[in-house]
Structure 1
Amino acid sequence: MASLDWKTLHSEYIYKDAWLTARKDRCITPTGKIVEPYYVLEYANWVNGLAIAEDGRVIMVRQFRQGFRQTLLEIPGGTMDPEDTSPEIAMRRELLEETGHSFEQMTYLGEICPNPASSNNVTHMFLATGGKKVQEQQLDQNEEIEIVYLTMEELKQMLLKHEIKQSLHVTCILYALLKLEQLKIV
């Protein structure tokens, strides 16, 4: 099979900030076509996880999302910080900060690309089980998060009704349900 990989001839950063870095690339395809400009957004890697408390309830978070301009129900997650030595460490930190829960078991479900056409990062997905409340939330300055507990059946009904809007979170939930054998592939 022939390679379809492009080669980057030149990259130029057009904006750099803590939460957004944008660059403009000049590329060449295997057939020799020049693609210019091609814009890429650089982000840190992310983590998210379906969190299940020791009583079997699913721990969700509600928060306002400015990009979508709505308050959404989501699974816990966030950006990997530079001091996070692994995706699991980042996920445990995010769970503790957002929900105040610590988890006995952390199962890695894989990584996905949020938008490989224009973004360079991945999202690491987890299934966290055996959650116990050990502290109050430790939210970032701009976070206002409400914790919501659901039964597994309520979660599945919300998925079927398309009530969970964050696509990266829907993907993680589906992989977690497969792992838990709550979702059957016919």
Structure 2
Amino acid sequence: MIHMDWKLLSSEYIYRDQWLNARKDKCLTPQGKIVDPYYVLEYNTWVNAVALTEDGQVVMIRQYRQGIGKTLLEIPGGTMDPEDVSPEVAMRRELLEETGYDFPELIYLGEVAANTASSNNYTKMFLAVGGRKVQEQQLDHNEEIEVVLMPLATLQQLILDNKIVHSLHVTCIMYALLHLQKMGMK
């Protein structure tokens, strides 16, 4: 195998905030080329889950997404906070805050990277099962989220019809559907 890793020569932060850091790197390729500047966006780890209630309904959310300027149907998820000791803890918190549902079992489905060319973080994916509504939503000041329950077959059709557009959510849904099929639960 050819060695392809770049060497980081220098790095400078050009923007820092609670949710995003942007840095400008100077790199050296194995072939001796200098790449300057190379911009990298740093985010916290993200989490998301396909969430199933005790009676097998999928817990979805609808919310506005400024990035593409549309209200979207999505699965619950969010970012790990500094006090979250693990992705599972973060996912349980997000599920409770966004939906009011608690889930006795979280199954880890793996991790994916949103954009390996320019972002540094991963999304940890879960399948949450056995959910029960235990409280009202506890949303952040900028969140307005509608909880939507649907049969699993409806979610599958939404995927086939390209109605779920958030790529990280589609990926988690596909992993969850594969897991459910493998477990004979679908």
TM surpasses 0.5:
yes
Q: Equivalent residue for 1:141?
A: 141
Q: Equivalent residue for 1:166?
A: 166
**Residue pairs, 1:70-85, within 5 angstroms:** 70-85=70-85
Q: How high is the TM-score relative to the length of structure 2?
A: 0.97
Q: Output the amino acid matched with 2:20.
A: L
* Counterpart Cα distance in 2 of 1:4 and 1:52: 42
* Counterpart Cα distance in 2 of 1:173 and 1:123: 13
Q: Equivalent residue for 1:20?
A: 20
Does residue 49 (structure 1) correspond to residue 28 (structure 2)? The answer is no
* Counterpart Cα distance in 2 of 1:104 and 1:20: 32
Does residue 2 (structure 1) correspond to residue 11 (structure 2)? The answer is no
* Counterpart Cα distance in 2 of 1:105 and 1:22: 36
SS for the counterpart of 1:180 is helix
SS for the counterpart of 1:181 is helix
Q: Equivalent residue for 1:31?
A: 31
* Counterpart Cα distance in 2 of 1:153 and 1:44: 33
Q: Output the amino acid matched with 1:49.
A: A
Q: How high is the TM-score relative to the length of structure 1?
A: 0.97
**Number of residue equivalences:** 184
**Residue pairs, 1:44-123, within 5 angstroms:** 44-123=44-123
Give 5+ residue unaligned stretches, structure 1: none
* Counterpart Cα distance in 1 of 2:31 and 2:176: 41
Q: Output the amino acid matched with 1:55.
A: D
Q: Which moved more, 1:12-21 or 1:71-80?
A: 12-21
* Counterpart Cα distance in 2 of 1:140 and 1:55: 28
* Counterpart Cα distance in 2 of 1:101 and 1:153: 21
* Counterpart Cα distance in 2 of 1:86 and 1:72: 27
* Counterpart Cα distance in 2 of 1:105 and 1:17: 34
Give 5+ residue unaligned stretches, structure 2: none
* Counterpart Cα distance in 2 of 1:79 and 1:118: 18
CA-based RMSD: 1.3
Q: What's the % identity of the aligned pairs?
A: 66
SS for the counterpart of 1:95 is helix
